[in-house]
Chains A and B, each alone.
Chain A
Amino acid sequence: MADSDKPENADKEPKSMQGSSEEQPPEPREDATAPNPKLEPTEQDEPEEAARRDAPLVADGHSGHDSHGHGLAHTMPIWMLVSVLAALMGLTILTVSVTSFDLGSQGNLVVAMVIATIKAALVVTFFMHLFWDKKFHLILFMTALLFVVLFLAMSITDRGEYQRNIDLYQSTTSTTPSK
């Protein structure tokens, strides 16, 4: 936000200055607080004024994580994208090769799911740039995951409840000499 927003702020300042805001001159250095004094006066005069001032690329307070100043959202550097892909590829190779080892009854499944979750976290954090995104989107996504976990957890515990019936069914319908 810092670097390239300032020139734009500077462009607009003459306009917003007419309204009020004596705090403006010392403000621009602080990213987080800068937009607020600007917004207050605009709301007082006319909504269109506010629109005009927000119109340029200035990210406002809540989404102001933009470190490169390319406007509406964070821009991912290429090296980061490529290294994330490299990590994902490495983890894919790892998860394939780990299947040739026996890690106990549930061990392999757990390892595979842990690796998949790391990969998913990489994709969500970097490719989906959730790290730089509004926290609200993170909350939304986590809420969905929470409900998935609830859904699966309930179903698994419920399945455990009637395992006895399944075993009974298996043993009565199977013609195999039982163990």
Chain B
Amino acid sequence: MSESTSQSATTAAQKGGHGAPAPAHGGHDAHGAHGGHGGPHLAHHFDTYQQQFDAGKLGIWLFLLTEVLFFSGLFCAYTVYRGMHPEVFVYAHYFLNTTMGAINTCVLLISSLTAAWSVRNAQLAQRKLLVLNIVITIACACTFMVVKFFEYEHKFHDGLLPGPAFHPTEQVWELESFKHKHPEAAEYAEKLTKAAEEKDKAKAAPVAVAAGSTVAPETGVFEKPTEEQIEPLIKAGVIGPMAEDPTRPSKPRNAHVFFGIYFFMTGLHGIHVLGGIGVFIWLLLRANKGEFGPKYFGPIDYAALYWHLVDLIWIYLFPLLYLIH
């Protein structure tokens, strides 16, 4: 930075005779750093601030394009897998904490506001407000990561991990979120499980091997279940053709794939949030020195644009992962 600064200063000096523009700058600038000629923040390879700003803006937009396409790969994986195995998504969404997701959505939205506001502050050379807004943005981003940490920790604890590490400690019908939505189905699943266990015991006793071991519990043991009892279970792949274990309520086959997608999408997003925190800390230090003003607010604007894109991706992730019906 300092190199380009000095270079631009000499360029400005060489050009000399900046009579007209200089006072116009000074009038707009709140802090002296920008006064005088070309200004310390005009890189030597740009003729004007406008050119510098526009070039940066084009650059950040191109970067955002690559980001959109980058994430679209994961969205594609999500779409295809959900199209093929809706039951896996229905099953897995009971394990996600909608409240935490909603809190994180709100936190990100607020940080988006402060990021957008900080651009305004930089444009108007409101240094204190700019610093404050950047601090709030960073605080919100950190809050997001803390909530994410607790969510991840919970998932790790419950064995909700992608691939071969997927060993859920709880069955889906034992979850509060499931019981709350489908109390009858939860009860029914419990009954089926007990029946299957009894059958296992009977099987273990040598006498009972012969009869009835292949009979599915729902046909063998109970009177015909009602729609409310059975439908949520089939939709979640707990029983029925998609279930892993035909003899008792279990989980859908390949349920771990959801958590692969979940961790990849939220993880990649989380990395972007971490990157954003780093960028905003850097900008905070610079803003504190009063480097930004009406002619040089590009970095704030670009970082805010990036931050909005991160928010944008979360706007889609939240309903796709947490609000599955």
Instruction: Across the A-B interface, give the 9 residue pairs with the lowest CB-CB distance, nearest first.
Output: A108-B325, A112-B319, A176-B246, A51-B47, A144-B65, A72-B53, A148-B72, A85-B113, A127-B116
**Inside 8 A of B53's CB, which chain A residues have their CB?**
72-73
Asked if A55 and B113 sit within 8 Å, CB to CB, the answer is no
Asked if B312 and A120 sit within 8 Å, CB to CB, the answer is yes
Asked if A120 and B65 sit within 8 Å, CB to CB, the answer is no
From A8, A140, A141, A159, B24 is in contact (CB under 8 Å) with: A8
In the complex, what residue of chain A is closest to B62 when comparing beta carbons? A140
Main secondary structure of the interface of B (DSSP, over half): helix
**Inside 8 A of A11's CB, which chain B residues have their CB?**
20-21, 23-24
Interface string of B67-92 (1 = CB under 8 A from A): 01100100110011001100000000
Number of residue pairs A-B, CB distance < 8 angstroms: 209
From B50, B241, B308, A174 is in contact (CB under 8 Å) with: B241
Asked if A128 and B308 sit within 8 Å, CB to CB, the answer is yes
Q: What is the distance, in angstroms, from B195's C-beta to the closest C-beta of chain A?
A: 16
**Inside 8 A of B38's CB, which chain A residues have their CB?**
55
Q: What is the distance, in angstroms, from B310's C-beta to the closest C-beta of chain A?
A: 10
Bound-state Cα–Cα, A155 to B78, Å: 11
Bound-state Cα–Cα, A123 to B242, Å: 40
A168 at the interface (CB under 8 A from B): no
Interfacial residues of chain A within 134-179, with CB under 8 A of chain B in the complex? 134, 136-137, 140-141, 143-145, 147-148, 151-152, 155-156, 159-160, 163, 166, 170-171, 174-179
Q: What is the distance, in angstroms, from A55's C-beta to the closest C-beta of chain B?
A: 4
B203 at the interface (CB under 8 A from A): no
* Residue of B20, B47, B119, B124 ringed by the most chain A CB atoms within 10 A: B20
Asked if A137 and B120 sit within 8 Å, CB to CB, the answer is no
B166 at the interface (CB under 8 A from A): no
**Inside 8 A of B288's CB, which chain A residues have their CB?**
none
Asked if B308 and A72 sit within 8 Å, CB to CB, the answer is no
* A interface list, Cβ under 8 A from B: 7-8, 11-12, 14-15, 48, 50-52, 54-60, 63, 70-73, 75-76, 78, 81-82, 84-85, 88-89, 92, 95-96, 99, 102-103, 108-109, 112-113, 115-116, 119-120, 123-124, 126-129, 133-134, 136-137, 140-141, 143-145, 147-148, 151-152, 155-156, 159-160, 163, 166, 170-171, 174-179
Asked if B50 and A96 sit within 8 Å, CB to CB, the answer is no
Interface string of B298-325 (1 = CB under 8 A from A): 1001001100110110011011100111
Asked if A96 and B246 sit within 8 Å, CB to CB, the answer is no
Asked if B325 and A92 sit within 8 Å, CB to CB, the answer is no
Asked if B68 and A145 sit within 8 Å, CB to CB, the answer is yes
What are 12 inter-chain pairs, A to B, with CB distance below 8 A? Answer: A57-B28, A72-B50, A72-B298, A73-B123, A85-B110, A112-B323, A129-B116, A143-B65, A144-B65, A159-B80, A179-B240, A179-B241
Asked if A141 and B325 sit within 8 Å, CB to CB, the answer is no
From A56, A70, A143, A174, B21 is in contact (CB under 8 Å) with: A56
Interfacial residues of chain B within 282-305, with CB under 8 A of chain A in the complex? 294-295, 297-298, 301, 304-305
How many chain B residues touch A (Cβ–Cβ < 8 Å)? 74
Given known contacts A8-B24, A81-B116, A176 and B48 CB-to-CB distance under 8 angstroms: no
Bound-state Cα–Cα, A84 to B109, Å: 10
Given known contacts A52-B20, A71-B28, A177-B246, A120 and B112 CB-to-CB distance under 8 angstroms: no
Given known contacts A72-B49, A92-B102, A152-B79, A52 and B15 CB-to-CB distance under 8 angstroms: yes
Q: What is the distance, in angstroms, from B278's C-beta to the closest C-beta of chain A?
A: 21
**Inside 8 A of B240's CB, which chain A residues have their CB?**
176, 179
